[in-house]
Structure 1
Amino acid sequence: MIESNRREWMMGGAVIALAGASGNALANASSSSGLLPRSAKPLPLSAVRLRPSDYATAVEVNRAYLLRLSADRLLHNFRKYAGLQPKAEIYGGWEGDTIAGHTLGHYMSALVLMYEQTGDADCRKRADYIVDELAVAQQARGNGYIGAMQRKRKDATVVDAIEIFPEIMKGDIRSGGFDLNGAWSPLYTVHKLYAGLLDIHGSWGNPKALAVLIAFAGYFEPVFAALDDAQMQEMLSCEYGGLNESYAELYARTGDRKWLATAQRIYDRKVLDPLEAGQDKLANFHANTQVPKLIGLARIYELTNQPAPKAGAGFFWQAVTQHHSYVIGGNADREYFSEPDTIADHITEQTCEHCNSYNMLKLTEHLYGWNPDGALFDYYERTHLNHIMAAQDPKTAGFTYMTPLMTGAVRGYSTPDDDAFWCCVGTGMESHSKHGAAIFWEGGNALLVNLYIPSEVHWKARGADLVLDTRYPFEPQSRLTLTTLAKPGRFPIALRVPGWANGKAVLTVNGKPVLPTFAQGYAILERKWKQGDVVTIDLPLELRTEAAAGDPDTIAILRGPMVLAADLGTTDGDWNKPDPAMVGDDVLSAFSATDAAAGTYATHGVIRPADLTFVPFYRQYERRSAVYFKHFTEASWKTEEAAYVADQARLKDIAARSVDAVHLGEMQQEHDHKLTSDISYPVTYRGRNGRDARSGGYFAFEMKTKPGPLILQATYWGGERGNRFDILVDDVKVATQTLHDDKPGKFFDIEYPLPEALTRGKSVLRVKFLPHDRSTAGPVFGVVLFTAKPGATA
Structure 2
Amino acid sequence: REAFDWLMLYRKLRGGAAAVDGPADPFLSEASLHDVRLQPGTVYWQAQQTNLEYLLLLDADRLVWSFRTQAGLTATGTPYGGWEGPNVELRGHFVGHYLSATAKMWASTHNDTLRAKMSSVVDVLNDCQQKMGTGYLSAFPSEFFDRAEALTTVWAPYYTIHKIMQGLLDQYTVAGNSKALEMVVGMANYFSDRVKNVIQKYSIERHWASLNEETGGMNDVLYQLYTITDDLKHLTLAHLFDKPCFLGLLAVQADSISGFHSNTHIPVVVGAQMRYEVTGDALYKQIATSFMDMINSSHSYATGGTSAGEVWADPKRLAATLSTENAESCTTYNMLKGFPQLIQMDKGNSICGLL
Structure 2 length normalisation: TM-score? Answer: 0.86
Task: Determine if the alignment matches structure 1 residue 126 to structure 2 residue 131.
Answer: no
Query: What percent of counterpart residues are identical?
Result: 33
Distance in 2, matches of 1:257 and 1:128, equals 29
* Distance (whole Å) between structure 1 residues aligned to residue 26 and residue 37 of structure 2: 27
Deviation at 1:344, TM superposition (A): 2.0
The answer as to 2:63 corresponding to 1:81 is no
| Residue from 268, 279, 282 that aligns with 1:293 | 268
In the aligned structure 2, how far is the partner of 1:125 from the partner of 1:141? 25
Residue 371 of structure 1 is matched in structure 2 by 346
The one of 238, 246, 251 aligned to 1:276: 251
Q: Over residues 675-729 of structure 1, what are the superposed CA-to-partner deviations in whole Å (9 max), with x where a residue is unaligned? A: xxxxxxxxxxxxxxxxxxxxxxxxxxxxxxxxxxxxxxxxxxxxxxxxxxxxxxx
Residue deviations 1:317-354 (CA, integer Å, cap 9, x gap):
12112321222222111111112253322221111111
- When the two chains are superposed, the root-mean-square deviation of aligned CA atoms in Å is 1.9
Q: Residue 81 of structure 2 corresponds to which residue in structure 1? A: 92
Say which of 123, 133, 143 aligns to 1:163: 143
1:577-600: CA deviation from partner (whole Å, max 9, x where unpaired) = xxxxxxxxxxxxxxxxxxxxxxxx
User: CA contact under 8 A between 1:274 and 1:280: conserved in structure 2?
Assistant: yes
Question: 2:15 aligned with 1:40, yes or no?
Answer: no
Write the distance in 2 (CA, Å) between the matches of 1:312 and 1:234. Answer: 21
Please tell me whether residue 200 in structure 1 is matched to residue 178 in structure 2.
Answer: no
Whether the 8 Å CA contact 1:173–1:234 is kept in 2: the answer is: yes
**Conserved 8 A contact 1:333-1:352:** yes
Match of residue 117, structure 1, among 92, 108, 121:
108
Q: Which amino acid aligns with 2:100?
A: S
Q: Are 1:312 and 2:283 an aligned pair?
A: no
Shift of 1:269: 2.1
1:173 matched to which residue of 2?
A: 151
Letter in 2 for 1:163: E
**Aligned counterpart in structure 1 of residue 194 of structure 2, from 208, 223, 238:** 223
Matching residue within 324, 336, 339 for 2:299: 324
Q: How does 1:657-736 map to 2 (within 5 A)?
A: none
Matched, 1:107 2:74: no
**CA distance change for structure 1 residues 374 and 136 in 2, over 3 Å: closer, same or farther?**
same
Displacement of 1:164 in angstroms is 3.5
1:200-599 alignment to 2 at 5 Å? 200-226=171-197, 227=199, 228-373=203-348, 376=351, 379=354
Cα distance in 2 between the residues matched to 1:49 and 1:326: 34
The CA distance in 2 between the partners of 1:164 and 1:38, in whole Å, is 40
- Does the Cα contact within 8 Å between 2:227 and 2:278 map onto a contact in 1? yes
Deviations 1:330-380 (A, max 9, x none): 211111111225332222111111111211111111111223437756655
CA distance in structure 2 between the aligned counterparts of 1:328 and 1:55, rounded to whole angstroms: 22
Query: Contact 1:166–1:223 (CA<8 Å) still a contact in 2?
Result: no
* Residue 167 to residue 239, structure 1, CA distance change in 2 (3 Å): closer
Aligned positions, number: 324
Higher helix share: 2
- For the 8 Å contact 2:158–2:214, the answer to whether it is kept is yes
Preserved CA contact (<8 Å) 2:192 2:233: no
- Specify which structure has the bigger relative contact order, considering alpha-carbon pairs within 8 angstroms and separated by 6 or more residues: 2
Structure 2 CA distance for partners of 1:318 and 1:241, relative to 1, 3 Å: same
Q: CA deviation at 1:128?
A: 1.5
Q: Deviations over 1:134-169 (max 9, x none)?
A: 1100111111111113xxxxxxxxxxx31233566x
CA distance in 1, matches of 2:58, 2:30: 30
Residue 174 of structure 2 aligns to a residue whose secondary structure is helix
Q: Indicate conservation of the 8 Å contact 1:188/1:242, yes or no.
A: yes
- Please state if 1:67 is matched with 2:50: no
Counterpart for residue 38 of structure 2 = 50
Q: Distance in 1 between matches of 2:325 and 2:267?
A: 21
Q: Whose Rg is larger?
A: 1
On the 8 A contact 2:67/2:138 being kept in 1, the answer is yes
CA distance in 1, matches of 2:302, 2:110: 35
Contact 2:300/2:307 (CA < 8 Å) preserved in 1?
yes
CA contact (8 A) 1:334 1:351 kept: yes
Deviations 1:41-87 (A, max 9, x none): 12222222223443332222111111111122121110001000112
Unpaired runs of at least 5, structure 1: 1-36, 150-160, 381-794
Letter paired with 1:211? E
* 1:148 is aligned to 2:158: no
For residue 496 of structure 1, what is the aligned residue in structure 2?
A: none
How far does residue 262 in structure 1 lie from its aligned partner after superposition?
0.8
Q: Structure 1 residues 356, 166: CA separation in 2 closer, same or farther (over 3 Å shift)?
A: closer
Q: Hey, what's the Cα distance between the residues in 2 that align with 1:256 and 1:46?
A: 28
Contact 2:260–2:311, Cα closer than 8 Å, also in 1: yes
With over 3 angstroms needed to count, the CA separation of the structure-2 counterparts of 1:379 and 1:44, relative to structure 1, is farther
| 1:208 alignment partner AA | K
The Cα shift of 1:117 comes to 2.3
Contact 2:156 2:214 (C-alpha < 8 Å) held by counterparts: yes
Instruction: Give the letter for the 2:113 counterpart.
Output: D
Q: What is the DSSP-based 3-state SS (H/G/I as helix, E as strand, rest coil) of the residue aligned with 2:315?
A: coil
The 8 Å contact of residues 220 and 272 in structure 2, kept in 1 or not, is answered as yes
- Give the partner amino acid of 2:255: D
Q: In 2, Cα distance between the equivalents of 1:48 and 1:67?
A: 21
**Could you tell me how far 1:188 is from its partner in structure 2?**
0.4
Distance in structure 2 (CA, Å) of the matches to 1:379 and 1:128: 40
Q: Deviations over 1:463-506 (max 9, x none)?
A: xxxxxxxxxxxxxxxxxxxxxxxxxxxxxxxxxxxxxxxxxxxx
Q: What is the rounded CA distance, in whole Å, between the counterparts of 2:269 and 2:124 in structure 1?
A: 32
Going from structure 1 to structure 2, the CA distance change for 1:165 and 1:43 (only over 3 Å counts) comes to same
Describe the superposition over 1:717-773 as per-residue Cα deviations: whole angstroms up to 9, x where unpaired.
Answer: xxxxxxxxxxxxxxxxxxxxxxxxxxxxxxxxxxxxxxxxxxxxxxxxxxxxxxxxx
- Report which of the two has the higher share of strand: 1
Partners in 2 of 1:46 and 1:125 — Cα distance?
A: 17
C-alpha separation between the residues in 2 aligned to 1:117 and 1:137? 29
Kept in 1, the 8 Å contact 2:144–2:157? The answer is no
1:136 to 2:127 alignment: yes
Report if the CA contact (8 A) 2:272-2:288 is conserved.
Answer: yes
Whichever residue aligns with residue 143 of structure 2, its letter is E
Conservation of the 8 A alpha-carbon contact between 2:61 and 2:77: yes
What is the distance in 1 between the residues matched to 2:176 and 2:26?
A: 29
Q: Distance in 2 between matches of 1:336 and 1:78?
A: 32
Q: Distance in 1 between matches of 2:235 and 2:115?
A: 29
Amino acid aligned to 1:172? A
Q: Contact between 2:106 and 2:175, CA under 8 Å: does it hold in 1?
A: no
Distance 1:267 1:90 in 2: 34
Q: Give SS of 2:37's match.
A: strand
SS state of the match for residue 50, structure 1? coil
